[in-house]
Amino acid sequence: MAKLQGDDLEKALAKLPNWVRIEERDGIARRFKFSNFVQAFGFMSQVAILAEKHNHHPEWSNVYSEVDIFLTTHDEGGLSQKDIDLSLAIDRLL
């Protein structure tokens, strides 16, 4: 799946107001805050299932009740529709 650029990229990002563009790594990121570790880990389990379904996998980290997710398409060296689809699906879990 090709890298998203120009207008296509702007339109896609407009649907993801809670994600920030990380220009240096051509990806998007979002921090998710929960009330405790169990909530955070439950969310990560749901994201793991989504990632497998989408065959697209996040770079992420967890510290106690917070989960940081970064998405880019390694195969394309940048943002693709796969990142947009997975981020929208992740947002829908909340």
Binding site for ligand H2B (CB under 6 A): 55-57, 73-75
The nearest distance, CB 85 to ligand H2B, in angstroms, is: 11
Nearer to ligand H2B, 30 or 39 (CB): 30
Nearer to ligand H2B, 2 or 38 (CB): 2
75 CB neighbour count, 10 Å cutoff: 11
**Strand runs labelled E in the chain:** 20-22, 27-33, 59-63, 66-71
Q: How far apart, in whole angstroms, are the C-alpha atoms of residue 10 and residue 5?
A: 8
Nearer to ligand H2B, 73 or 87 (CB): 73
